[in-house]
Amino acid sequence: MNLPFDFIEQTRQLMGAEACNELCEALTRETPVSIRMNNDKCPLHPLHATPVAWSKGWYLDYRPTFTFDPLFHAGCYYVQEASSMFVEQALRQYVHEPVVMLDLCAAPGGKSTLARSVLPEGSLLVANEVIRNRSQVLAENLIKWGHPSVVVTNNDPADFPELGGVFDVILTDVPCSGEGMFRKDETAVSEWSLENVNICWQRQRRILQAIWGCLKPNGILIYSTCTFNREENEDNVAWIARELGAEVLPIETDAAWNISGNLTGGEFPVYRFLPHRTEGEGLFLAVLRKTCEDSYEPASKRNKKNKPTDKKQTVAYPKAVTEWIADHKQYEFSAENGTITAFPATWKDLYMRMKQTLRVIHAGITLAEQKGKDWQPSHSLAMSTQLAPQVFPLADLTYEQAIAYLRKEAITLDASIPKGYVILTYQNHPLGFAKNIGNRANNLYPQEWRIRSGYMPEEVKTLLF
C-alpha cells in the first residue's frame, strides 16, 4: 500500500513517529472479519468465533462466502467492522428509556441495525441516507433485520429541521476522508488529500449545524468518523461544544480494549480505535449532551399555519390481513397506493408528520401489495420479527433450493405443500414468499435483492453454529 506522503506527515505530527510507523504497518495487514448476530431471529453462538469485547459481536477466524449464505439474506446476522460496534457502549450507557433516535448518515445500515438491537423497547429509529441508491440498500438491510419500529428516509440533513426538536438521540456518522478505511478500500487511498480533509471537516460542521435544532435540549449526540486526523475529530468535537452548546461525556471502557484517547492535548474525552492497538479498522467517536435550551421550531408553527396535507384515498382491504402480524392491536394500519402498512401506534402522530415533511421509503411493516384483486403478502412481512406464527404454511428448503430461490429462479415444492402463499425457509428461518400453484411455485423474492452472480464459488463457506 502506497500511503500518501502528506497523510504520513500529518499522522506523524499528530501521533509521533513511533505510533505513526506502527499504524502504517498495521494498515498492510489483513482486515479482521466480524459479525453481529440478530438475537431477535438467531440468538446463537457462531463456531470458530471470539467475542468483540465492547459489543455483542464476534470475530470470525475465517471469511464466510456471505453472498452465498442464506442466513445472511434471512437477516440472521450482519457483517460489521468491529470498531464500529463501539456505538453500542454509547447507547447502553446513556439511553435507558424509550427514545426517538435519528441515524442521519446511515447507509449501508451497520450502525442502524446495531442501534435497533440496543435501544430500549418502545423506541423509534429513523435511519436516513441522502444518496438515493444507498438509501435503498439501507432499507433492504433494515427490512431484513426485521424490527417494526423503524422509518427509513432519503433526505438531505437540511430537510429535517421542519420536524422540529423531536429527537432524543442523533447519531452522526458523518462523511469523512476515510483514512480508517485505507486497508479495506484502495479508492480511499487514491482519493485522499489534504484538500479533501479540509473539505470534509467543513462539510461535517454544516451537517451538524443543520441538524442541531432537531435535537432536544439535554439530548445525546453521538459523533463518529472513520478517519484519524484531528481536524475531522477532536477539532470538530471542540467546535460542537463551544459553538453549538454541548457537554462532552465520558464512556466507561476497559483498559484491555486498548482504545486511544484525545491526541490533541484537550481535556475532553474522545475514543479512537487505531488498527495497531485494537483489532478493527479506524474509528473516532465522541458523545455529547446538548446544553443549550433552543430547539428548532418548524416554520409552520412560527407562522401558525399548518402545512397542507393531501387527502388520502381510502382503500378497502380484508381485515384478516391485519392478523398476519403478532400483537396487531398495537399497530396502526393504512392502505395507500396499493400497499398496506402496519406502524406502531405509539408513534403514529410523529410518523404522519414525517410523511408530510420527509421522503419516507420504508416504515414499520409492509404487509401486502395489491395485485389485481389479490393482496400479495410483502417480503417485509416475511422478514419481520412480528410475523404471526401459523398464518402461512412453511416449506423448508435445501441449500441448493435456497440459493436458487435467492437468485429468483423457479422453485418446485414438495407435493405435500398446500397451494397458495407459502413462506420458504432455510434451517427454519424465513427467506421470503412464493405462491405455490401445484406444478411449480412463483418466486416472489424481490427482483432488486436477488443474487446476481450466476456461478458458485469453488468453495462455499457459510456461518457455522
List the end-to-end C-alpha distance of the chain, in Å, as a whole number. 36
Cell 433494515, residue?
142
3-class SS at 323? Answer: helix
Phi/psi at 152 (5° precision): -110, 125
**Cα Rg, the chain, nearest whole Å:** 23
Find the Cα–Cα–Cα–Cα dihedral 435, 431, 321, 410, rounded to 10°.
Answer: -10
8 A C-beta contact, residue 46 and residue 37 = yes
Asked if 20 is an active-site residue, the reply is no
Cis check: omega of the bond before 4, within 30 degrees of 0: no
- Helix ranges restricted to H, 60-179: 70-73, 87-94, 110-118, 132-145
Q: Measure the CA–CA gap between 465 and 463, rounded to whole angstroms.
A: 7
Q: Report the candidate in 37, 103, 46, 109 with the shortest Cα–Cα distance to residue 75.
A: 37
8 A C-beta contact, residue 138 and residue 152 = yes
Q: Report the candidate in 121, 138, 211, 198 with the shortest Cα–Cα distance to residue 170.
A: 211
C-alpha distances out from residue 365 to 54, 381, 384, Å = 31, 6, 7
Q: Measure the CA–CA gap between 410 and 401, rounded to whole angstroms.
A: 9
The CB-side HSE value for 274 (13 A sphere, CA atoms) comes to 23
Candidates 200, 214, 226, 292; catalytic one: 226
For helices 194-212 and 5-15, angle between their N-to-C axes, nearest 10 degrees: 60
Q: Measure the CA–CA gap between 235 and 252, rounded to whole angstroms.
A: 22
- Helix ranges restricted to H, 336-462: 348-357, 379-383, 399-406
The type of residue at 295 is S
Exposed, middle or buried by CB within 10 Å (0-12, 13-18, 19+), for 444? buried
Catalytic residue list? 226
